[in-house]
Structure 1
Amino acid sequence: MPSESNSPRVAIPSSGRSLIAGQFVMTLLAIAMSLVAMLAGITNGIPQAYLDRRKEFIREETSMRLGADMKLNFREELVNHYLMVQKELAVEASRLTTEPYLASRHFFQVKEQIESTAIFDIISMMPKGGILHLHDASIVPLDWVIKTLTYLPDLYTKEREGITPRQFKFSKTPLRVTDGWRNVSELRAEMAMSDKNRSLDEVFMSEWSLYTPDPYNTYKSSNDMWNKFSDYFLTIPGLRSTLETAEMYLREALKGFYADGVMYVELRDGDLFDGDGLDLTDDYMCLVDRVVKDFQKTHPDFMGVKFILTGYRFFSEPMMQEQVDKVMARMRKFPDLVKGFDMDSHEDINHRIRFYLNALIKDDKSVMPFFFHAGETAWTQGADMNLVDAVLLNATRIGHGFAALKHPKVMQAIRDQGIVLEIQPISNQVLGLVDDQRNHPAASFIANNDRLVISSDDFALWDALPLSHDFYITFMGLGATKDDLRLLKKLAMNSIEYSTMTSAEKAVAMKIWQRRWKIFIDDVLTKYHLL
């Protein structure tokens, strides 16, 4: 129901009115100072012709930014106006006072504050399209994994200090304590009796989660973060080593995606092995297809899951060749599900793409579509040279591309070849590549209207939502102060346009997304009383 006033009416919780009032005063002060400066310039005799040229210059530059071509209707403009008032309040409060700017701080230090903002609330309501860069072993909150999978019967764990992180294995036949194995339920009961200060669940969480309230002192270097990060991926396979647990995990993940406004997912990795090393990947692909179709019966606007299967940079050449052959075979066997190949693992310390060129090229052509992790590094003329091979191999998309700005020829090739950059801002910060997100290289990609999508990499390891937190950081940190709802809308649409879906699938997905976007706009108008 429209209000009697012609102006949009904004409802603000009483608990936040004093803070917002203070921020609003600072915003008015900033505007007043700008007006004074402008008037001073006029009275100082600046030629009008110069002022006109300057205005046109800024207009043209703004039109070059990602999302600038998006058109908003009247209802979207109302939401945009409210969104930008909130953004300007946050910017000015930080710029003119000691109020910390949340998107400039480490995610671990400001996560709860971010979640209390109206901007995050609106972004969490938003239909975000798809996630195109995500690892299938880190897509469910860790507390669910602990409370569900580690409480299943016949689960054993084994610690081998100095060799590998904790292992897990399901076995109907009891595993021997003399070999280091302990039944998890028995170990949990023993700890409950002997250690009143720490439960086994808390031990698991501390071992897996990268979260810490003091990230800069907890992790002294990027290598410290990567070591713990890598340990998780050596641990979790044991809990997903049966088709039953893999299905439980996937079903929970789909619920989480959908609740966060994600309607399509492309997963990396994809291999599944049982506790004895038997390859269950083909069975897993069939399981994914069945589970997704079952999920779509009750969620018909969920567009599905596809895979980019993966090899690892610590593989030998023969191992990588074997993996490439397996992936090509699976692309033929599951053409609607398996869409290409990637290489994963820490770029700074493992083999480069060039080490495996014999497996990746045949008759001077790429053997299949590539979606390489490349340039996920702060170094120059080192691991970042993976970017050169990624563009020469005509990768469809490049994961991270953090170092791409240091390579003008690479950036030219990315633009000329239509390569899409997959940006994961929180992951880059957690793994030590950037402190202040305003300095993230993707800020330049956005400014230059480059082809990019926002993803979340391994969000479960830092207790983030599938996309909402990364979209918030992009909007408030990577984007410029004046980047608005158009940027968010463009990013959501990019995730459909640059996916591996067929043209027909994309057309259907875009129609579904547009319907959900309209509902989202209406829901924001209603929730915040903007009409």
Structure 2
Amino acid sequence: METYLKRRSELIAQDRALRPDHAIAKALSADEQKASEILRSIRASEDRTVWNGKLPVKHIHGPQQMFPGMEFLTARDSIVNTKLFDILSKMPKGGLLHAHLDATVRADVLLRLALEQPAMHVRMPSASLNASTLKTVLPEFRALPKNQWTTTGSITDAAYTPNTWVPIQNARSNFGAELGGSSGFDRWVIDALMIDPSEAYGTHNTTAKIWEKFQSTFSVSDGLIRFVPIWTQYVREFLLSSVEDGISYVEPRILFWFKYMVGEDGEENVPHRVWFQIYDRVLNEVKEELEKQGRDDEVIGSKIIYSTLRNVTCEELEWYLEDCLALKQEFPHLVAGFDLVGHEDSLKPLIYYAEPLLKFVERQKELGVHIPFIFHAGETIGDGGVADMNLYDAILMGTQRIGHGFSIAKHPRLMEICREKGICIEICPISNEVLRLTGSMPMHPLPAILNHGVHVALCSDDPSVFGNMGLSFDFFQVFVASEVNTIATLREFVWDSIRFSSLDDTEKQYAFAALERRWTVFVNHVLDTYGESFGLESQ
């Protein structure tokens, strides 16, 4: 038996030696090892007391048994009341490498910003709104030039004419009492900007259906966000809320599909270079504010991944690629890379764009700039379909990272290449679950990807739509879903988010030093708060 147990231990060790967190696990300090024991003990305790399967939780299909890593939208209220979530919310997260800017600020905050703008108007396509149509009739927003402002009093009045613009304050103040009045207006707008459990797990419980709802949220938010006064505050809110969750560096994907933003005058006349100027200015203001507060270590900075939709023609794509090149020349410190975004299962595959994309690589050489591809690929449950095949083209075209890469676990050679070439996968756990690629975290392919030695950065994708603001929720869902995960796993995710970022070597060196200081504070916090209870005080 002793020989068998030895062989068993050796086999387990050999298997886990491939994981990216293996080296860190062997090099943990004494305090980190104690903190890890505490986290694992709390996870085990809450597995029994919170996720024990004995306490049913309210679910669209009736009472459902709870378990670690279960459906996020159902479990969210339980998650925020756990000790483990409280601990992880205080953990430095490093970088957020995959998030779409137009879905990164809480829906209620975006609505508040809009209500402060007298130019903002709202309309709807139907003549009447009632309790049965609140979910299906979507508001459309637009900031209008002053000479087009209206005095229409209500959007719910029986005399309302479809597609008539109503000042947003009027629409809210005079929202039908039978629909909840002002608070009912707020609920109508916020519901249109988010996915709720009844949709994700009920009415829209397939990938195709949930993407319909998902895409509809952007049709509502676009008219709110793409207005310079709101966009300026929106960027600031995104940066500050990220810092509050322990994120010190962000690489948002900004969609440049629209060639102009609506300016303060209500005219659609603000070009992309001004978007960059505003982003750069707000970023520097936020950094200066935090530095004055002695919080230098909490903010490293930000770069932008230039993105457009994967439904353009090749000719149209060439315009965006040239635009990206021009912006890189003017803002070399801000442009991190280029991506094509949108529903992979229904839109054009990367191979369709091979010619202009390969030409783009040559154009960079001519101009002496470098804009790496950071492609979405493999965000699908398919096997061998166009979305799955995007993984091959992303890798062959030299992608620096892979956005989502959900289906890569089906391709051992591709995972081997990612391990050999250092291609990091931007895994968005909660996004994958809500968008119905997986039913829960224990079913997610992340462990298989890690066990093949592929590096991963945990990301939130579209947090304002899913309600997983920051990164704490994604870290929580991943940590509770696997008993292999330790503090070494968390640390590896954090460090990889900087290691595989678009920061240069000097910036990374500074970021790692700041992270090390903040990580020590975090470990000490865990020991000081819980160490005595477990007999594991810091030394």
Scaled to the shorter chain, the TM-score interval is 0.7 to 0.9
Specify the alignment match of 1:153 in structure 2. Answer: 118
Specify the alignment match of 1:520 in structure 2. Answer: 522
Specify the alignment match of 1:34 in structure 2. Answer: none
User: How much has 1:330 moved relative to structure 2?
Assistant: 0.9
Specify the alignment match of 1:288 in structure 2. Answer: 279
Contact 1:124 1:260 in 2 (8 A): yes
Contact 1:157 1:167 in 2 (8 A): yes
Aligned amino acid, residue 187 of structure 1? A
Q: 2:499 aligns with which of 497, 500, 509?
A: 497
Specify the alignment match of 1:353 in structure 2. Answer: 350
Instruction: Sort the Cα spacing of 1:353 and 1:219 in 2 relative to 1 into closer, same or farther, 3 A.
Output: same
Contact 2:53 2:67 in 1 (8 A): no
Deviations 1:98-122 (CA, angstroms, capped at 9, x unpaired): 4655433110111111111111111
1:423 and 2:427 matched: yes
Contact 1:91 1:481 in 2 (8 A): no
Contact 1:127 1:513 in 2 (8 A): yes
Aligned amino acid, residue 89 of structure 1? S
Contact 1:157 1:182 in 2 (8 A): yes
Instruction: Sort the Cα spacing of 1:407 and 1:116 in 2 relative to 1 into closer, same or farther, 3 A.
Output: same
Deviations 1:69-95 (CA, angstroms, capped at 9, x unpaired): 112222222211111112233456799
Contact 1:307 1:338 in 2 (8 A): yes
Contact 1:397 1:419 in 2 (8 A): yes
Instruction: Sort the Cα spacing of 1:166 and 1:191 in 2 relative to 1 into closer, same or farther, 3 A.
Output: closer
1:330 and 2:327 matched: yes
Specify the alignment match of 2:469 in structure 1. Answer: 465
Contact 1:420 1:452 in 2 (8 A): yes
Specify the alignment match of 1:3 in structure 2. Answer: none
Give 1:218-229 correspondences, 5 Å limit.
Answer: 218-229=203-214
Q: Give the stretch that moved more between structures: 135-144 or 240-249.
A: 240-249
1:180 and 2:161 matched: no
Aligned amino acid, residue 205 of structure 1? I
Specify the alignment match of 2:83 in structure 1. Answer: 118
Q: Give the stretch that moved more between structures: 419-428 or 349-358.
A: 349-358
- What is the percentage of aligned positions where both structures have the same residue? 29
Aligned amino acid, residue 338 of structure 1? V
Specify the alignment match of 1:189 in structure 2. Answer: 173
Contact 1:225 1:431 in 2 (8 A): yes
User: How much has 1:412 moved relative to structure 2?
Assistant: 2.9
Query: How far apart are the structure 1 equivalents of 2:217 and 2:115?
Result: 15
Deviations 1:133-187 (CA, angstroms, capped at 9, x unpaired): 0111111111111123234212111223699953211122234677521211111
Contact 1:422 1:455 in 2 (8 A): yes
Deviations 1:378-428 (CA, angstroms, capped at 9, x unpaired): 111212111111011010001000011222332233223221100000000
Specify the alignment match of 1:373 in structure 2. Answer: 376
Q: 2:404 aligns with which of 382, 400, 406?
A: 400
1:318 and 2:315 matched: yes
Give 1:65-464 correspondences, 5 Å limit.
Answer: 65-70=19-24, 71-91=27-47, 98=54, 100=65, 102-160=67-125, 166-171=139-144, 172-175=146-149, 180-191=164-175, 193=177, 195-196=179-180, 199-212=184-197, 215-271=200-256, 273-274=261-262, 276-299=267-290, 300-301=296-297, 302-362=299-359, 368-382=371-385, 383-464=387-468
Contact 2:94 2:498 in 1 (8 A): yes
Deviations 1:308-360 (CA, angstroms, capped at 9, x unpaired): 00021111222111111111111111110012100100011111111111210
Contact 1:366 1:393 in 2 (8 A): no
Query: How far apart are the structure 2 equivalents of 1:313 and 1:259?
Result: 33
Contact 2:121 2:166 in 1 (8 A): yes
Instruction: Sort the Cα spacing of 1:397 and 1:363 in 2 relative to 1 into closer, same or farther, 3 A.
Output: closer
Instruction: Sort the Cα spacing of 1:475 and 1:220 in 2 relative to 1 into closer, same or farther, 3 A.
Output: closer
User: How much has 1:255 moved relative to structure 2?
Assistant: 1.7
User: How much has 1:277 moved relative to structure 2?
Assistant: 3.9
Q: Give the stretch that moved more between structures: 512-521 or 393-402.
A: 512-521
Give 1:10-29 correspondences, 5 Å limit.
Answer: none
Query: How far apart are the structure 2 equivalents of 1:102 and 1:455?
Result: 22
Contact 2:192 2:220 in 1 (8 A): no
Contact 1:414 1:420 in 2 (8 A): yes
Query: How far apart are the structure 2 equivalents of 1:95 and 1:147?
Result: 36
Q: Give the stretch that moved more between structures: 323-332 or 424-433.
A: 323-332
Contact 2:415 2:452 in 1 (8 A): no
Query: How far apart are the structure 1 equivalents of 2:410 and 2:180?
Result: 53
User: How much has 1:529 moved relative to structure 2?
Assistant: 4.6
Contact 2:97 2:426 in 1 (8 A): yes
Contact 2:254 2:305 in 1 (8 A): yes
Aligned amino acid, residue 438 of structure 2? V
Task: Give the secondary structure class of the aligned counterpart of 1:369.
Answer: coil
Contact 1:157 1:183 in 2 (8 A): yes
Deviations 1:295-315 (CA, angstroms, capped at 9, x unpaired): 112322201111000021111
Aligned amino acid, residue 484 of structure 1? T
Query: How far apart are the structure 1 equivalents of 2:320 and 2:398?
Result: 20
1:481 and 2:483 matched: yes
Task: Give the secondary structure class of the aligned counterpart of 1:191.
Answer: coil
Query: How far apart are the structure 1 equivalents of 2:32 and 2:179?
Result: 56
Contact 2:121 2:142 in 1 (8 A): yes
Q: Give the stretch that moved more between structures: 350-359 or 264-273.
A: 264-273
User: How much has 1:373 moved relative to structure 2?
Assistant: 0.6
Q: What number of residue pairs does the alignment pair up? A: 483
Specify the alignment match of 1:64 in structure 2. Answer: 18
Contact 2:200 2:435 in 1 (8 A): no
- Give unmatched runs, 5+ long, in structure 2: 56-64, 127-132, 153-160, 291-295, 365-370
Contact 2:424 2:455 in 1 (8 A): yes
Query: How far apart are the structure 1 equivalents of 2:109 and 2:52?
Result: 42
Query: How far apart are the structure 2 equivalents of 1:57 and 1:529?
Result: 33
Query: How far apart are the structure 2 equivalents of 1:434 and 1:366?
Result: 40
- Give unmatched runs, 5+ long, in structure 1: 1-45
Instruction: Sort the Cα spacing of 1:61 and 1:95 in 2 relative to 1 into closer, same or farther, 3 A.
Output: farther
Specify the alignment match of 1:23 in structure 2. Answer: none
Contact 2:200 2:436 in 1 (8 A): no
Q: Give the stretch that moved more between structures: 179-188 or 415-424.
A: 179-188
Contact 1:109 1:214 in 2 (8 A): no
Instruction: Sort the Cα spacing of 1:217 and 1:194 in 2 relative to 1 into closer, same or farther, 3 A.
Output: closer
Query: How far apart are the structure 2 equivalents of 1:111 and 1:192?
Result: 31
Aligned amino acid, residue 261 of structure 2? F
RMSD value over aligned CA atoms? 2.4
Query: How far apart are the structure 2 equivalents of 1:424 and 1:378?
Result: 14
TM-score between the two structures when normalised by the length of structure 1 = 0.86
Contact 1:226 1:431 in 2 (8 A): yes
Query: How far apart are the structure 2 equivalents of 1:513 and 1:364?
Result: 34
Instruction: Sort the Cα spacing of 1:238 and 1:214 in 2 relative to 1 into closer, same or farther, 3 A.
Output: closer
Contact 2:302 2:334 in 1 (8 A): yes
Query: How far apart are the structure 1 equivalents of 2:343 and 2:198?
Result: 24
TM-score between the two structures when normalised by the length of structure 2 = 0.84
